[in-house]
């Protein structure tokens, strides 16, 4: 409906939800700009998009670096002349119980999930204000809606993003803001889990009923494709079997 020719920047684009979103939007005619730490994966995805007639660019990006995120948005602007949408997907989840005291994992989640998203907002917002248009999509999590053991710090970072997203929505009138909260999705989320017992539990749940990342990508596309005067504020998408 309203995706063709839009320029969309996607962080965390080398795998999972980010990869699925980039490919789906490119398939619907968007110009996608991919950001993630794994350059070889980004190049492969860009090649796949080009092979079917799509348009893309990419830049190796660590979202914990403000300079990297600024450079990603600048690269999109230089390559395609504008930016219409920023999709903040990059996130990690090395979850564990508090008494495991995996404090380095806490720091990493704060840096990637919260600080990385804020850096994305900070990079896109001045451009969107100049354009008098734009759309920020923040991928959050159902972990912040139903708090469970081992999810404390992860959910806290996601709910911090949820709070920031709602405040941003109220502050901006010509810029659309959307939060998308997925449940269990078949991605590489568990790769960052350092606690073996938690890892086994999460992988078991994921194997039992996780939905494909393309399901979340469709939800993101739905929010983007709405007319400019329509804002989809919040989407929760999870497996039917999830508690």
Residue count (the chain): 243
pLDDT score, position 160: 98
Establish if 243 belongs to a structural domain: no
Establish if 220 belongs to a structural domain: yes
Domain encompassing residue 163: 7-237
pLDDT score, position 117: 98
Q: Exactly one of 119, 154, 184, 222 is catalytic; name it.
A: 154
pLDDT score, position 1: 56
Establish if 156 belongs to a structural domain: yes
Could you give the CA distance from residue 82 to residue 204 in angstroms, rounded to a whole number?
43
Establish if 69 belongs to a structural domain: yes
**Starting at the edge strand that comes first in sequence, how are the strands of the sheet with 134-139 ordered?**
55-60, 31-36, 7-11, 85-88, 134-139, 175-182, 234-237
Establish if 1 belongs to a structural domain: no
pLDDT score, position 197: 85
**How far lies 179's CA from each of 102, 191, 220, in Å?**
28, 24, 9
Residue 184 among the catalytic residues: no
Establish if 2 belongs to a structural domain: no
Convert the pLDDT of each residue in 68-103 to its tens digit.
Answer: 999 999 999 999 999 999 999 999 999 999 999 999
Establish if 195 belongs to a structural domain: yes
Whether 84 and 135 have beta carbons less than 8 Å apart is answered as yes
Establish if 242 belongs to a structural domain: no
Convert the pLDDT of each residue in 148-176 to its tens digit.
Answer: 999 999 999 999 999 999 999 999 989 99
Give how many domains the chain has, as a whole number.
1
pLDDT score, position 77: 97
Q: Is the pTM of this model over 0.85?
A: yes
Q: Report the pLDDT averaged over residues 165-194.
A: 91
CATH code: domain of residue 15: 3.40.50.720
Whether 237 and 21 have beta carbons less than 8 Å apart is answered as no
pLDDT score, position 189: 79
């Amino acid at each position: 409906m309203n995706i063709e020719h839009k320029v969309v920047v996607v962080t965390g684009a080398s795998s999972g939800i980010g990869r699925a979103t980039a490919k789906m939007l490119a398939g619907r005619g968007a110009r996608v700009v991919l950001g993630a730490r794994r350059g070889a994966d980004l190049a492969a995805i860009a090649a796949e998009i080009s092979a079917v007639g799509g348009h893309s660019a990419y830049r190796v990006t660590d979202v914990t670096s403000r300079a990297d995120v600024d450079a990603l948005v600048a690269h999109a602007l230089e390559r395609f002349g504008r930016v219409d949408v920023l999709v903040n997907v990059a996130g990690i989840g090395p979850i564990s119980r508090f008494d495991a005291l995996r404090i380095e994992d806490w720091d990493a989640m704060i840096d990637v999930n919260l600080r990385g998203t804020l850096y994305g907002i900070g990079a896109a917002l001045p451009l969107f204000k100049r354009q008098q248009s734009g759309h920020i999509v923040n991928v959050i999590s159902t972990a912040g809606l139903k708090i469970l053991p081992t999810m404390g710090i992860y959910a806290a970072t996601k709910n911090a993003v949820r709070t920031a997203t709602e405040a941003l929505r109220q502050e901006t009138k010509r810029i659309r803001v959307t939060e998308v909260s997925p449940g269990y999705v078949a991605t590489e989320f568990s790769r960052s889990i350092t606690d073996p017992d938690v890892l086994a539990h999460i992988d078991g749940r994921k194997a039992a009923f996780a939905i494909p990342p393309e399901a979340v990508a469709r939800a993101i596309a739905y929010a983007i494709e709405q007319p400019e005067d329509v804002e989809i504020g919040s989407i929760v998408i999870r497996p039917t079997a999830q508690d």
